[in-house]
Amino acid sequence: MDIIYPLAVPKGRRLCCEVCEAPAERVCTACTVTYYCGVVHQRADWSSIHEKICQLLIPLRTSMPFYNSEEERQHGLQQLRQRQKHLIEFCYTVAQKYLFEGKHEAAVPAALHSLRFRMNVHGLSSVELVPAYLLLAEASLGLGQIVQAEEYLSQAQWTVLKSTECRYATHSLLHRNLGLLYIAKENYEEARYHLANDIYFASCAFGTEDIRTSGGYFHLANIFHGLKKLDLADTLYTKVSAIWSKYLNDRYQVLSRARIQQVDLLGKRFETDTGLDEAQEAEAIQILTSIWNIRESTSNTAPQKTIFVLKTLFMLYYLMMNSSKAQEYAMRAFNLAKEQHLSVHEQNTIEELLSLISAEEAHPIT
């Protein structure tokens, strides 16, 4: 629904653009509760997030119906909060996914929505606002708007400082983004300090070997790689690959068995089975493919390391139900193992992966 009509603003009511808060001149005709300064912001919002939440906004933005009793009113309020909370999470995940895919511009409207819903539900100084500030900071960094990124980050830092109930996970995210800011400013000393803090807080929240801790190690590795401290980078990349490999392998072991049984018994297809949300899947792809690209350059001297990442990518795509990509990575691993004359055992294990996919293709799952 991309049709736009100029808006006749009733006298005395000031309506604001969804994206920039300038006076509005247009309305979305599909929901009639969302306004824009012009066609540019309407299009940007539509393709970022509005298309996905247009209809969900109607009950949030139309005035509350008349209730017969206090009980009904409370119930109505509770439902409204529930809807707002759902939208907070939804917009957050959408924005995060764009960021991992490198689509910084598209992430902005979605992140702004997450921020506004948070303000409505939790108030202006709540730590619940911090994750949205961090998304906006990351998007700004990606767009090269360093000053804007710093503003969002200082908002986030200030909110965290004032708060007494801030979770480790939030501290970790804040430091990760500060780390990325200083990487963008080429101040690697500061960046390392913040990434070390990110790893510390993420470890407190999730443990040292958790996929949510791996992001800090990954960015730290990138710094060392950029500074040509290749040994340190190598150790950290190995750690990151190992964390993801273990996580995916655990799920893979259980699910590959379950999936084949399921196919045989019911002929039914599973949904994606990574146990990750869309943003985490996008993060996994980003981290693992960039480690793979780095490993490629040392494939001749350390083929095992490349193969390890390729197998991890195979498991990821296999669990994401993308069998052509999974097959592609298994083939790459297989060819590399052959080229480099790796042990027969290594070649066999990769052949098993390939046969798993062809087994599924032989029993088309519908």
Strands 35-36 and 4-6: unpaired
Residues 212-231 that bind Zn ion (CB under 5 A): none
Evaluate whether 111 touches 139 at the Cβ level (below 8 Å). yes
Q: Which of 17, 135, 211, 291 binds Zn ion (CB under 5 A)?
A: 17
CA-nearest of 101, 135, 145, 100 to 115 is 135
For Zn ion, which is the closer residue by CB, 40 or 258?
A: 40
Rule CB under 5 A: say whether 245 interacts with Zn ion: no
Rule CB under 5 A: say whether 31 interacts with Zn ion: yes
For Zn ion, which is the closer residue by CB, 30 or 354?
A: 30
Q: Which of 49, 54, 191, 220 binds Zn ion (CB under 5 A)?
A: 54
Q: How far is the CB of 34 from Zn ion (least distance, A)?
A: 5
For Zn ion, which is the closer residue by CB, 90 or 252?
A: 90
Residues 145-174 that bind Zn ion (CB under 5 A): none
Rule CB under 5 A: say whether 326 interacts with Zn ion: no
CA-nearest of 43, 40, 59, 60 to 51 is 43
Rule CB under 5 A: say whether 30 interacts with Zn ion: yes
* CA angle centred on 182, ends 176 and 183, rounded to 5°: 85
Cα(145)–Cα(126) distance, rounded to whole angstroms? Answer: 25
The piece of 22-30, 111-119, 126-134, 281-289 that touches Zn ion (CB under 5 A) is 22-30
Rule CB under 5 A: say whether 113 interacts with Zn ion: no
The piece of 35-43, 143-151, 167-175, 207-215 that touches Zn ion (CB under 5 A) is 35-43
Evaluate whether 87 touches 59 at the Cβ level (below 8 Å). no
Q: Which of 15, 20, 331, 342 binds Zn ion (CB under 5 A)?
A: 20
The piece of 54-62, 131-139, 260-268, 327-335 that touches Zn ion (CB under 5 A) is 54-62
The piece of 27-35, 87-95, 123-131, 229-237 that touches Zn ion (CB under 5 A) is 27-35
Q: How far is the CB of 111 from Zn ion (least distance, A)?
A: 15
For Zn ion, which is the closer residue by CB, 55 or 300?
A: 55
For Zn ion, which is the closer residue by CB, 40 or 359?
A: 40
Map residue 298 onto helix, strand or coil: coil
Map residue 5 onto helix, strand or coil: strand
Q: Which of 26, 41, 97, 239 binds Zn ion (CB under 5 A)?
A: 41
Q: How far is the CB of 109 from Zn ion (least distance, A)?
A: 10
Cα atoms in the 13 Å half-sphere on the side-chain side of 265 = 7
The site that binds Zn ion (CB under 5 A) totals a number of residues, namely 11
3-state secondary structure 142-176: HCCCHHHHHHHHHHHHHHHHHCCCCCHHHHHHHHH
Q: How far is CA 142 from CA 98, 145, 152, 186, 230, in A?
A: 11, 7, 13, 14, 25
Map residue 85 onto helix, strand or coil: helix
DSSP 8-state assignment for residue 306: H
| Cβ atoms < 10 Å from Cβ of 11 | 5
Evaluate whether 193 touches 175 at the Cβ level (below 8 Å). no
Q: How far is the CB of 14 from Zn ion (least distance, A)?
A: 14
CA 363 to chain centre: 33
Cα(260)–Cα(348) distance, rounded to whole angstroms? Answer: 20
Q: What token pair was written down for 20?
A: 């920039």
The piece of 13-21, 257-265, 278-286, 318-326 that touches Zn ion (CB under 5 A) is 13-21
Cα(158)–Cα(98) distance, rounded to whole angstroms? Answer: 26
Q: Which of 34, 159, 170, 327 binds Zn ion (CB under 5 A)?
A: 34
For Zn ion, which is the closer residue by CB, 20 or 184?
A: 20
Residue given tokens 């501290």 in the structure block: 171
The piece of 24-32, 148-156, 226-234, 358-366 that touches Zn ion (CB under 5 A) is 24-32
Q: How far is the CB of 60 from Zn ion (least distance, A)?
A: 12
Q: What token pair was written down for 226?
A: 């950029």
The piece of 9-17, 205-213, 223-231, 352-360 that touches Zn ion (CB under 5 A) is 9-17
Which residues of this chain interact with Zn ion, rule CB under 5 A? 17, 19-20, 22, 28, 30-31, 34, 37, 41, 54
